[in-house]
Amino acid sequence: MLREEECITLAHGSGGQAMQQLIEQYFVAAFDNAELALMEDQAQLPLASLNGAGDRLSFATDSFVVDPLEFPGGDIGKLAVCGTVNDVAMAGAIPRYLSCSFIIEEGLPLATLERIVASMARTAREAGVQIVTGDTKVVHRGACDKLFINTSGIGVVPGDRQLGARHIQPEDRVIVSGTVGDHGAAILQARGELALSGELQSDCQPLNGLVEAMLAAGPVRALRDATRGGVAAVANEMASVAQVSIELEEAALPLHPEVRGVSEILGLDPLLMANEGKLIAVVPPQHCDAILAAMQAHPAGREAAVIGTVAAAPAGQVSVVGLFGGSRLLPMPVGEQLPRIC
């Protein structure tokens, strides 16, 4: 049983001594870099690598409200680092700096916060980014559910990299970097909504290393991580922006047997289920083999597979060839399969 002083109190959000101590003892200690240690309200970054005439900044933000805070394969902290690192990496940018902002419900055990912050620090090291500035708010019991985290991120896009759905062309190939639906299924199981005893693990991981390996192997038209809305949302966004047709093959889709089981039992479509460590790449056909091989040689892409092709028409439409050869439309998902998935 934790004593009251081992939980977050409103004083930890006050701007005064208690907040300073929380920041020093938990955040500055874990995230360990000179810029954060200055305890200013902002960080100053040299960005010396932003030196080519065409180099650009990539800037992304994501708030995380996942329930539960901790689940097999990850936690809200790991998710918050991976989510923003991946958004930046999908632009072909090299992620460099993150901000981190906590909204904490009064009463959260400090031990929980400490584990989550340690997980953020570990994931940031793995991804090669620094958490350089932050903010902490504490709200009354009941005004938020335990803990929400926002991360924003800055990366540098080398001038010679121009990725984007608008570059997609007919005949291009669609690659997924591994099994789909793992994160969504793991969260469902962690909520106790499944009676399955399988080994469902979230795929939550940084993808910037994989992206670098891919770009070294050949030109990539567009990248997108398949988070909320899954592969279906990404494919529809790409088809709509590029005004092309994308045809996916269900039989080619990498799927863990447990995820297949969950989706069959619950009637969920794995193409709509959330991932937190998988990307969809569209690549020119003549470079597909080289890029796929580079992905399969990387720990984050071992199960990468070609899952579809691009055609000129019908523009803006995504279809799936099913396991028995029939073709069906895969529209943009309308509602929410699983709230608070990330």
CA dist., res. 211 & res. 234, Å (int) = 17
Q: Does 142 bind a second copy (CB under 8 A)?
A: yes
Q: Which is nearer to a second copy, 97 or 292 (CB)?
A: 97
3-state secondary structure of 224: strand
Provide the pairing of β-strand 94-105 with 130-139. Answer: parallel
Among 33, 63, 201, 243, binds a second copy (CB under 8 A): 63
Q: Does 332 bind a second copy (CB under 8 A)?
A: yes
Select from 86, 277, 91 the least CA-distant residue to 184: 277
CA dist., res. 64 & res. 87, Å (int) = 14
Q: How far is the CB of 55 from a second copy (least distance, A)?
A: 9
**How many chain residues are in contact with a second copy, going by CB under 8 A?**
78
Among 59, 70, 213, 218, binds a second copy (CB under 8 A): 59
Q: Which two tokens stand for residue 136?
A: 């902490």
Q: Which is nearer to a second copy, 132 or 210 (CB)?
A: 132
Strand partners, 283: 173
Binders of a second copy among residues 81 to 140 (CB under 8 A) are 87-88, 90-91, 93, 97, 99-103, 132-135, 137-140
Among 28, 110, 127, 157, binds a second copy (CB under 8 A): 157
Among 114, 126, 237, 269, binds a second copy (CB under 8 A): 237
Among 143, 312, 313, 315, binds a second copy (CB under 8 A): 143
Select from 283, 275, 276, 285 the least CA-distant residue to 222: 283
Site string for a second copy, 251-290 (x = CB under 8 A): -----------------------x----------------
Question: Of the listed pieces 12-20, 74-82, 182-190, 242-250, which binds a second copy according to CB under 8 A?
Answer: 12-20
CA dist., res. 143 & res. 139, Å (int) = 6
Q: Does 201 bind a second copy (CB under 8 A)?
A: no
Binders of a second copy among residues 21 to 50 (CB under 8 A) are 38-47, 50
Q: How far is the CB of 25 from a second copy (least distance, A)?
A: 16
Q: At what angle do helices 110-127 and 76-89 cross, to 10 degrees?
A: 30
DSSP 86-128: HHHHTTT-EEEEEEEEEEEETT-BHHHHHHHHHHHHHHHHHHT
